[in-house]
Amino acid sequence: MELGLGERVCLVTGSTSGIGLATARVLAAEGARVVVCGRDSARVDEARAASGAVFGVVADLSEPGAPDELVAETEDALGGLDCLVNNVGEAYQAAFEELSDRQWDDMWQLNVMSYVRSIRAALPSLRRAGSGVVVNVSSTAGKRPSTGMPNYTVTKAAVLSLSRLVADLYAKDGIRCNAVAPGPTATDAWVGAGGLADQQAGRTGKTREEVLQSVGAGRPLGRLAEADEIANVIAFLCSDRASYVTGAAWSADGGTVPIII
Residues carrying an active site annotation? 152
List alpha helices for the chain, DSSP H. Answer: 18-29, 41-51, 66-78, 101-108, 114-129, 150-170, 188-191, 196-204, 208-217, 227-238
Contact 181, 251 (CB under 8 A): yes
In the 8-state DSSP scheme, what is residue 224?
P
Among residues 86, 178, 183, 87, the alpha carbon closest in space to that of 142 is found at 183
Rounded-to-integer distance, Cα 42 and Cα 58, Å: 9
Mention every residue, 6+ apart, whose C-beta is less than 8 A from residue 244.
none
In the 8-state DSSP scheme, what is residue 251?
E
CB neighbour burial string for 133-142, b if at least 16 within 10 angstroms, e if fewer:
bbbbbbbbbb
Q: Quick count: other Cβ atoms within 10 Å of Cβ 221?
A: 12
Among residues 245, 232, 198, the alpha carbon closest in space to that of 30 is found at 232
Rounded-to-integer distance, Cα 76 and Cα 57, Å: 12
**Sign of the C-alpha dihedral computed for residues 111, 117, 119 and 122 taken in this order:** negative
Strand partners, 249: 179
